Structure 1
Amino acid sequence: MRFSVFTASTPEWTPAEVVANLKEQGWDGVEWRVVDQPAAAPSSDGTAAVGFWAGNRATWPLTGLEESVPEILRLTREAGLGMSGIGGYAQASDHENVERMLAATAALGAGQVRVTMPRTDTGEDYPSVFARTRADLEWVVSRAAEHGVKALVELHHETITPSASAARRLLEGLDPAHVGAIHDLGNLVNEGFENHRAAFELLGDYLAHVHVKNARWVTDGSRRDDGSLVWRHEWATLRDGQADVGRYLTDLREHGYDGWVTLEDFSTDLPLADRTRDNLAWLHSLVGANA
């Protein structure tokens, strides 16, 4: 397995700082975040706030992405890092921007790029959204084949593909050379958990990529009108979340997966540099202990 970091989880670093720090810490690669992110609200001192989803300094804008490709390549190559893929946010239905992302992925030699799925809280019935997305995905796969890359569908809570079963149903019959699934350990704590080995077997050739983070369910003791406790999920450190990361890596290896494992730790218990360094050391220890 090779380990990379998704830059959604490194908001305080510029792209140059990302590659310098990941190289120094011993990571194998980077997964660049690409999106036109919303402006961040100013912090209390009036400076621009930094956050995972807004004000993330390690994000390349989707608008003008073509002009950024040479700089992305230069930074990544000079640091001696691989690209585990591109973390895109273009919806499958947004053909113009999916085409842009596929073309950039090919130009970067990154091999694969995430294409996002619709949410399930829009009020539209699931079968209609699913059928429309399947048609969009067929177009995406045809364009991915033309570019010689692979489009990735992430197992993500609150979307139409929260589980391996849902993703397999959506992908069934499409060419696994040009479309696959991202199995995401942390997202499955929130929604969509299935026995990992069964899920890997179910996905089969569609198991294309892996994201690792952790999460947990918490309550502040508040209750609904009917008296039941209110629970919510939150991100946690790799060690402190509900998912068993060590068992997960063992299951992946025993299944025969030997691809990229991309870290996206959205906890804030440790400063960013300490967090990334500690995560890599712990992952290496888990792989070594279970080899």
Structure 2
Amino acid sequence: MQTSVLTKMFGERDLRDACSVAAEVGFDAVELMGRDPHFGVETDDEQARELRAHLDDLGLDVSCVASYTGGYVDMDETECAEQLDRLERFCELADLVDCDMIRHGPRGPPEHHATDTDYDRAVEWMRRAADLADEYDKELLVEIHSVTIIESASTAREFFERVDRDNVGAIHDAGNMYISRTDFGRDSVAELGDWLRHVHVKDELRVADEALGTFEMETPAGTELFQPRLLGEGAADHGPLFAALAERDYDGYVVAECHLPPHDALTDRSIAECELAAMERLATEPTNA
């Protein structure tokens, strides 16, 4: 397992500073937030080269570029084509920072509202995206995410089998899968099999009342309220996930993505430190529940 952090966790900092903090905390890599103020599509070649030099000085790799591109299900043909243009620019930028993986997905409505037409459209455009990315030797990662057409490991597997491109795979995200009320433990890893290429970790908790960082999400149970928590302090037990990853000798990245807002008692750096410590504990002593 290699550790990484999504630079969105340092969203109030400029990207160079965010990367410096990530290195100081002890992560192996950063996943670049592919929008302002970090690594948006408007980033020019020289800025990307300067970032790569800075990362080299820090001893950091880039685990993935989180491009925020795609979303084909909700777009017309012209908008979909524009997303491919944006993806191509991210492929160029990923080359300049020495990264092979780009986050890209179809989005759309939640699984329980999605139609066959939605999945057909998503498959068609993801094939086009994959073929484009393959020209740059890039792999596209689709995050299993609440309130999209891919909320579960089983649906993700079916989707990838239909897309039928070797350079498309899954980002496992137990926090999102907890929100969606789908399995995020051992069985989800087995279900994804070789389609699992990348892992995000964050903890969440269903709550009844508003508190720090709470947000609403539509789930199969209706609209529910959630609060981001430090890893190990919410209800998304990551122990079985880490145990399953260890059993399959997973040597890819596990990426911290805590959404808990910094506040007086907890800075973005201290949140990152807590997440890395929890990740290392889970990797060393995973539970089999």
| Cα deviation code 1:181-221 (max 9, x no counterpart) | 00001111111522522222222221110000011111139
Moved more, 201-210 or 169-178: 169-178
Which of residues 161, 176, 199 in structure 2 aligns to 1:172? Answer: 161
8 Å CA contact retained: 1:60, 1:68 = no
* Structure-to-structure mapping, 1:63-102, within 5 angstroms: 63-91=42-70, 93=80, 94-102=83-91
Counterpart-to-counterpart distance in 1, 2:231 and 2:275: 7
Moved more, 252-261 or 178-187: 252-261
Q: 1:14 aligns to what?
A: 14
When residues 274 and 22 of structure 1 are mapped into structure 2, their CA distance, relative to the original with a 3 A threshold, is same
**2:149 is aligned with what amino acid?**
I
Whether 1:31 aligns to 2:10 is no
Q: 2:260 aligns to what?
A: 267
Whether 1:247 aligns to 2:243 is no
Q: 1:290 Cα deviation (Å)?
A: 4.2
Q: 2:276 aligns to what?
A: 280
SS of the equivalent of 1:169 reads: helix
| Cα deviation code 1:59-95 (max 9, x no counterpart) | 2222244453212212211111011111110115311
SS of the equivalent of 1:172 reads: helix
Stretches of structure 1 that go unaligned for 5 or more consecutive residues are 38-56, 222-227
Moved more, 257-266 or 68-77: 68-77
SS of the equivalent of 1:63 reads: coil
How large is the Cα RMSD of the aligned pairs?
2.4
Q: 1:119 aligns to what?
A: 108
Counterpart-to-counterpart distance in 2, 1:169 and 1:73: 36
When residues 276 and 127 of structure 1 are mapped into structure 2, their CA distance, relative to the original with a 3 A threshold, is same
Q: 2:126 aligns to what?
A: 137
Q: 1:231 Cα deviation (Å)?
A: 3.5
How many corresponding residue pairs?
Answer: 262
Counterpart-to-counterpart distance in 2, 1:218 and 1:265: 17
Q: 1:247 Cα deviation (Å)?
A: 3.0
When residues 183 and 27 of structure 1 are mapped into structure 2, their CA distance, relative to the original with a 3 A threshold, is same
Q: Which has the larger radius of gyration?
A: 1
| Cα deviation code 1:120-152 (max 9, x no counterpart) | 07xx95222211110001111111211111001
Counterpart-to-counterpart distance in 2, 1:165 and 1:211: 18
* Structure-to-structure mapping, 1:134-283, within 5 angstroms: 134-174=123-163, 177-191=166-180, 193-194=182-183, 196-220=185-209, 231-268=224-261, 270-283=266-279
| Structure 1 segments of 4+ aligned residues over 6 angstroms from their partners | none
